[in-house]
Structure 1
Amino acid sequence: VSGRIALEMGMDAGFAEQLVHAAPMHDIGKIGIPDHVLLKPGKLDDEELSIMRSHPQLGAEILDKSSSPLIKLAYTVALYHHEKWDGSGYPFGMKGEEIPVEARIVAVADVFDALLSKRPYKEAWPVEKAVEEIKSQANRHFDPQVVAAMLSCLPDLIAINAKWREE
């Protein structure tokens, strides 16, 4: 999904391919989050939320100091994928184009996947409802250009998501 959005935004095929491989590492820091927080079926309390919000930096620590271009890209995605376009995200409160474009792309792709997935704390959403939620968050949570690119290639993204679920 991330790679297809990158292509739709006019990025070259090499970058898009690297992003396809880097994006799945965005939550690697969650291996450092205790299961009682990670798998909690209900709403997280303030302490649990603080623990959960440490995963971007934990992921960056895991991926840091690699000379591999792929791992460097994954580092950036892991560290910044919870920053929000309006500056209300974490861990640094970055906003707009301060956030690396690869993290802005993965943020949209990740939420699209998360909304379409059943989780311990929620049921899977229908595609239409997920798309409406993402559209409603353009200029708040998400870069509006990334959302526009996502909408432009939505049939491809739905097919990619369905294929991934079958595998």
Structure 2
Amino acid sequence: MAAPLHDMGKIAIPDAVLLKQGKLNDEELAIMRRHPRIGHELLSGSQNRFIQVGALIALRHPERYDGSGYPDGLVGEAIPLAARIVAVADVFDARISPRPYKEAWTMEATLAYLYAQRGRLFAPRCVDALMRGHSQLMDICAQHSTASTRPGGCHAGPALVR
């Protein structure tokens, strides 16, 4: 229930940055990187335990397993498990979904990217769990999309197995 709140802070990011066609410049990147703290601030005052987890996920989902993420450069197990899980799901969704600034990736390319970053950007166990659930992802995609709304990866072929 808390995971959908991970990008709550983007509500305070100007559309000119969120929807920009092309690469963000340094100033725009700095603006975008404020969203985890903003989301955390918006959610952390709640007494609801799910919202509290959402606040933690909002703050920590851009952290990367190797410490290259933001806002604090946490490494490995110092990143809360919920945030490590959402980090993989968030990048998966971002890759297979079309955006104003990019085409959707195929499911195969997305899974290959996540696997290549396993242990570097993403927690190995979280990537492995996504890989094991590939067929369920395909089923969900097929049930909840149409040809015109389907993310790029939903028409991919067989599962990528490692």
Tell me which interval the TM-score lies in, with the shorter structure as reference length.
0.7 to 0.9
**1:48 and 2:28 aligned:** yes
CA-to-partner distance for each residue in 1:76-100, whole Å, 9 max, x for gaps? 1100000000000000000100000
Deviates more, 1:104-113 or 1:154-163: 154-163
The 3 A distance-change label for structure 1 pair 75 and 119 is same
Deviation >6 Å, runs of 4+: none
1:51 Cα deviation after fit: 0.2
Task: State percent identity of aligned pairs.
Answer: 52
Counterparts of 1:18-167 in structure 2, within 5 Å, are 21-166=1-146
User: Where do 5+ consecutive residues of structure 1 fail to align?
Assistant: 1-20
The 3 A distance-change label for structure 1 pair 30 and 165 is farther
Q: Is the 8 A contact 1:29 1:59 kept in 2?
A: yes
CA distance in 2, matches of 1:41, 1:118: 12
Relative to the length of structure 2, the TM-score reads: 0.87
CA distance in 1, matches of 2:16, 2:116: 31
- Between 1 and 2, higher relative CO (CA 8 Å, sep ≥ 6) is seen in 1
RMSD: 1.3
CA distance in 2, matches of 1:83, 1:163: 32
Q: In the comparison of the two structures, how many residue pairs are matched?
A: 147
What amino acid is aligned across from residue 51 of structure 2 in structure 1?
A: I
The 3 A distance-change label for structure 1 pair 162 and 90 is farther
Q: Is the 8 A contact 1:113 1:161 kept in 2?
A: no
CA-to-partner distance for each residue in 1:33-74, whole Å, 9 max, x for gaps? 011111101100000000000000000011012110110110
1:164 Cα deviation after fit: 4.0
Q: Which has the higher helix share?
A: 1
Relative to the length of structure 1, the TM-score reads: 0.84
CA distance in 2, matches of 1:163, 1:53: 34
